[in-house]
């Protein structure tokens, strides 16, 4: 998964890198809203670095209404199957331990804002 822009998320922005199910559960089950970044195969997916740049900007635009983590390679398949969001890169949203939505692939800024606003304002199903 190593790419400088993904590494920046875990080093500069201090997003946790989730490597096992216990870490994933602890992160997503904490109180509040959470966004998981699933990079996918960086070598094959040229959109992954773009989403790695967009995510911190979204967090700032939403005034830190959610926290973020990067999903490690070992958990990607598990998270994709559990959420039904198979395309990567993707942003997967949880609130209080429950999946609330996913945003696959790169989107226009307005689409990110509209989707995140919707997911963050919707009660868990």
- Per residue in 63-79, pLDDT (tens digit) is 999 999 999 999 999 99
User: What is the value of pTM for the model shown?
Assistant: 0.94
Mean pLDDT value of segment 35-44: 94
The residues, ordered by sequence, that sit 6+ positions from 60 with a Cβ below 8 Å of its Cβ are none
Confidence check: pLDDT of 125 > 50: no
Segment 96-124 mean pLDDT? 93
Which CATH architecture describes the domain 4-121?
Answer: 3-Layer(aba) Sandwich (3.40)
Asked if residues 27 and 34 have their Cβ atoms less than 8 Å apart, the reply is: yes
**Residues 89/39, Cβ–Cβ less than 8 Å:** yes
């Amino acid at each position: 998964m190593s790419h400088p822009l993904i590494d920046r998320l875990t080093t500069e922005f201090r997003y946790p890198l989730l490597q096992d199910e216990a870490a994933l559960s602890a992160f997503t089950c904490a109180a509040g809203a959470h966004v998981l970044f699933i990079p996918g195969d960086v070598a094959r997916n040229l959109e992954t670095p773009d989403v790695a740049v967009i995510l911190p900007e979204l967090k700032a635009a939403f005034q830190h209404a959610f926290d973020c983590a990067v999903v490690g390679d070992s958990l990607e398949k598990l998270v994709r199957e559990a959420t039904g969001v198979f395309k990567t890169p993707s942003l997967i949203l949880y609130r209080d331990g429950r999946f609330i939505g996913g945003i696959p692939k790169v989107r226009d800024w307005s689409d990110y804002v509209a989707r995140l606003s919707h997911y963050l304002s919707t009660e868990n199903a």
